[in-house]
Chain A
Amino acid sequence: MSRLQVEHLYKVFGRQPEEAVRRLEAGADRDELREDGVTPAVIDASFEVSEGEVFVVMGLSGSGKSTLLRTLNGLLPPTAGRVLFDGQDLTALNDTELRRVRSHSISMVFQHFALFPHRSVLENAAYGLEVQGVARAERERRAGEALEMTGLGGWEKSWPDQLSGGMQQRVGLARALATEAPVLLMDEAFSALDPLIRREMQQQLVDLQKTLHKTIVFITHDPHEAVRLGNRIAVMRDGRIVQNGTVEELLLQPADDYVASFMEDVDRGRALAGVSAGSAGTPGSTLGKESADA
């Protein structure tokens, strides 16, 4: 079954957002709403992410992909539509229940790392567990394991500002992994790194995913990264998902010129071969037929 399910989701910033949603549903254009001072960031998004899948949302900046990601864990409440997590409607939860979902079930990794500068590497990695209320010894053990997993064993006592960008993001990843949440939201997690390090991190994520089988929603503006990591890719433009499909579908049957130009640079041979080689999970499979729980 699907872990995450998004149904007709709208997110509108500005005055009278519900009114704007009604106009959008009636077929109004995004630009004409903008003239009235409201910004529709996500328009009528629907998709499903199944267990153990890496779902990539790709688009240019301003296309609404980061906003979409933040509606998935309720950091931004959607204006209309539903987000179902294991069949549970997140938009119907109260603050306490929502916080519980975030601390136990959905972790997040940030573009600019967002490490706490006043905490050591170990304390950063243990942060989510601290929020869960796990006792100190236990959380430090589990945070240590998470750091070990991301290749940062031995750096526990260091401070974030002593680490390079790539190492800092490994701490960010370890912080997200330590809570043992089944779902990871990754917001342009590798975009701030230089290209070599980025490749290294992408490979590490692929390797980790082979053993961890997390359900990952990964935001990026880089088609190479999307192709490397994603089982399926949704392409966003001006707040709408213009195509949602496998790498092959995007390469071979692009929905429009926008998608086609996005995929232009991608090395087709490697991409089509690499899908099955790189990613764990369900290359090209249909949704909801596989489970990585076992």
Chain B
Amino acid sequence: MPRLQLGDWIDSAVTYLRDHFAWLFDIITNVVSGMYDGLDAVLGAPAPLLLAGILAVVALWLRGPTAAVLTFAGFALIDSIQQWDQAMATLSLVLVATVITIVLAIPLGIWAARNRTVSAVLRPVLDFMQTMPAFVYLIPGIFFFGVGQVPGVISCIVFAIPPGVRMTELGIRQVDGDLIEAAEAFGTTSRNTLLRVQLPLALPTIMAGINQVIMLGLSMVVTAGMVGGGGLGASVFTAISQVNIGLGFEGGISVVILAMYLDRMTSSLGTRVSPLGRRATAALTSVRGASIWNYRPQTGIAVVGVVVLALVAGGMNIFGGSADTNTAAAGKNVGDGRSVNIGYIPWDEGIASSFLWKEALEERGYQPKLSQYDVGALYTGLSAGKLDFQTDAWLPTTHQSYWDKYKDSLDDLGSWYGPTSLELSVPSYVKGVDSLADLKGQGGKFKGRIIGIEPGAGMMKALNDKVLKQYGLEGEYQVTTGSTASMLAQLDRSLKAKEPVVVTLWSPHWAYSKYDLKKLKDPMGAWGAGDGLHTLTHKGFAAKEPQVAQWLKDFKLTEPQLSSLEAAIQDAGQNHEQDGVRAWLKKNPGLIDKIAPVKKPAAAAKG
């Protein structure tokens, strides 16, 4: 078979779209991010427990007292495990995605129900959207929509549209043909047949579709978190990258609470708003009789409840005052409120250095914005100019493939920490294995496995191409591929069971402080020289912010500095990284002035 260059065509199509339809994507980006920001501002404004109260009133209206109590308890739990802001961000993301999905899916479904050709054309397109793995279009999505919430929203929409369209089409098609005929026999226009007969009767099915839309949207939030979507997705992504099972569960349970709330509310909304549903409810109440557990407030009463709570929330915001003050000390306000976008991978050294810079830039009057990404997404965002800089580039080896791909649009400001090293490590209780050479002949002990990480990682390539070859380990050992998180989980498991295990690891890494591990020596130098941790900027950043670029260029941390900073952040806990940085800065006074020096105030005044 000749090789069909399908991939190349897609590449050039993406480039063409990016070059010629930038205006269109900008409009979409602005609309979507505008909707998201607005909704997030509204949901984020009230005190958590007040908003939980509002949501509970909605639950009371739709499902009664039990649901209201459970709703309040669920959202209070989210607040108490400090996932509230993330949960509201996720809720905003899902609601924006749902609204856009509904606006697109219902007309498409109606059209498909009334036209067999449209239905036949849509079907494979919907299959495509539903089954194409999200990452395939998520990374190109960054080219079009930048990093942040928009590609997350777009991926939710792509994933969630199919059930919306299908259920709408199904709902309309399954309306009894006799009823359509009756409507026609009385002279109803086809538009009115749709509005008065088909849609009301299809409504329960359509609502089931909307319910599916929301649930699928929620299931995409973790993926969205990997491309800077923030919210609970980012919480979960961070936690699993660090094998922090507890935090991962807290993020996960928050997603579950949101999902259950949205699921129950939308399915009840179906019966509450549709005439058929009202008919069913009326029948049910007459059977069960009135009881406090069946109490549903009138819509009016529910609206009053929501409005009162919302007013209380608004009042508290006005009178509570906002604590937003400029933290830049007089004479040191270099940034003048200009924003700087920092991207980071949720690895310890990336979090530590990025939050250190966030604090430093705030001190200097900038408005730094931090967002976290998967490695591929981070490089894509940086090269597209949607991010200004990142501090966690492992060069020249580990991130070589990304650097080669994007170097034309990136600037390397040099290494701030190094050298790092790549290695294979074993638990220190494994006796008689101290260097890579000692692995030979010990394959049986390790079940012939070396626990690897992501197949695309530069270190995996080095391991397979050089290290195994030079030490003659090929054939005896298989390198398993997976993820950093799965490698660490396997390491933890083997350590608990006191089993021998050999894993791919690198320094700096928190695993060395948490576990008692032994780095295998590399007498032949097969791994090559260690990487440095480089700061990369989008090309042109140095021209835009020469002062920041200069600071970044001069930035250096020593090993004790970095490990103590990481430890301080770890102590402060997730979502309190900046507090950790501040605590650490207290122990390291003057560091900000050292990494971000400002010229003498007199000189600044003259300038």
Is chain B found bound to chain A in the same assembly? yes
Contact with B along A175-214 (1 / 0, CB 8 A): 1000100000100000000000000000000000000000
Most buried by A among B182, B184, B187, B200: B187
Please, how many residues of chain B have a CB less than 8 angstroms from a CB on the other chain?
20
Q: In the assembly, what is the distance between CA of A243 and CA of B24, in Å?
A: 70
Shortest A156–chain B CB gap in Å is: 15
Q: Are B279 and A159 in contact (CB under 8 A)?
A: yes
Q: Are B186 and A127 in contact (CB under 8 A)?
A: yes
For B529, what are the chain A residues with a Cβ–Cβ distance below 8 Å?
none
Q: Are B181 and A110 in contact (CB under 8 A)?
A: yes
For A130, what are the chain B residues with a Cβ–Cβ distance below 8 Å?
196
B558 contacts the other chain (CB 8 A):
no
B6 contacts the other chain (CB 8 A):
no
For B275, what are the chain A residues with a Cβ–Cβ distance below 8 Å?
118-119
For A155, what are the chain B residues with a Cβ–Cβ distance below 8 Å?
none
Nearest residue, chain A, Cβ from B179: A114
Q: Are B182 and A179 in contact (CB under 8 A)?
A: no
Shortest B172–chain A CB gap in Å is: 14
A236 contacts the other chain (CB 8 A):
no
Contact with A along B181-207 (1 / 0, CB 8 A): 110111111001000110011000000
Q: Are B187 and A75 in contact (CB under 8 A)?
A: no
8 A Cβ contacts from B148-185 to A: 176, 178-179, 181-182, 184-185
B274 contacts the other chain (CB 8 A):
yes
For A159, what are the chain B residues with a Cβ–Cβ distance below 8 Å?
279
Q: In the assembly, what is the distance between CA of A101 and CA of B186, in Å?
A: 9
Q: Are A73 and B276 in contact (CB under 8 A)?
A: no
Q: In the assembly, what is the distance between CA of A131 and CA of B188, in Å?
A: 6
Contact of A116 among B179, B184, B187 (CB under 8 A): B179
Q: Are A108 and B279 in contact (CB under 8 A)?
A: no
Contact of B185 among A100, A108, A118 (CB under 8 A): A108
Please, how many residues of chain A have a CB less than 8 angstroms from a CB on the other chain?
28
A103 contacts the other chain (CB 8 A):
yes
For B176, what are the chain A residues with a Cβ–Cβ distance below 8 Å?
114
Q: Are B187 and A131 in contact (CB under 8 A)?
A: yes
Q: In the assembly, what is the distance between CA of A131 and CA of B187, in Å?
A: 7
8 A Cβ contacts from B485-513 to A: none
Contact of A99 among B187, B196, B279 (CB under 8 A): B187
Nearest residue, chain B, Cβ from A105: B187
A107 contacts the other chain (CB 8 A):
yes
Nearest residue, chain A, Cβ from B184: A75
Q: Are A102 and B197 in contact (CB under 8 A)?
A: no
For A161, what are the chain B residues with a Cβ–Cβ distance below 8 Å?
279
Q: In the assembly, what is the distance between CA of A254 and CA of B477, in Å?
A: 97
Q: Are B187 and A100 in contact (CB under 8 A)?
A: yes
Q: Are A107 and B186 in contact (CB under 8 A)?
A: yes
Q: In the assembly, what is the distance between CA of A100 and CA of B200, in Å?
A: 24
Q: In the assembly, what is the distance between CA of A108 and CA of B183, in Å?
A: 10
For A175, what are the chain B residues with a Cβ–Cβ distance below 8 Å?
186
For A3, what are the chain B residues with a Cβ–Cβ distance below 8 Å?
none
Q: In the assembly, what is the distance between CA of A107 and CA of B200, in Å?
A: 23
Q: Are A103 and B178 in contact (CB under 8 A)?
A: no
For A108, what are the chain B residues with a Cβ–Cβ distance below 8 Å?
182, 185-186
A239 contacts the other chain (CB 8 A):
no
A128 contacts the other chain (CB 8 A):
yes
Q: In the assembly, what is the distance between CA of A117 and CA of B196, in Å?
A: 12
Nearest residue, chain A, Cβ from B282: A159
Q: Could you show 11 A-B contacts with beta carbons less than 8 Å apart? A: A75-B181, A98-B187, A108-B182, A110-B178, A114-B179, A114-B182, A116-B179, A116-B182, A118-B200, A132-B187, A175-B186
Binding site for B on A (CB under 8 A): 73, 75, 98-104, 107-108, 110, 112, 114, 116-119, 127-128, 130-132, 159, 161, 175, 179, 185
Q: A102-B185, A104-B187, A131-B192 given; name 10 further pairs at CB < 8 Å.
A: A75-B184, A103-B187, A112-B178, A116-B179, A118-B200, A118-B201, A118-B274, A128-B186, A175-B186, A185-B185
Binding site for A on B (CB under 8 A): 176, 178-179, 181-182, 184-189, 192, 196-197, 200-201, 274-276, 279
Give the 3 A-B residue pairs with the shortest CB-CB distance, closest first: A103-B187, A102-B187, A114-B182
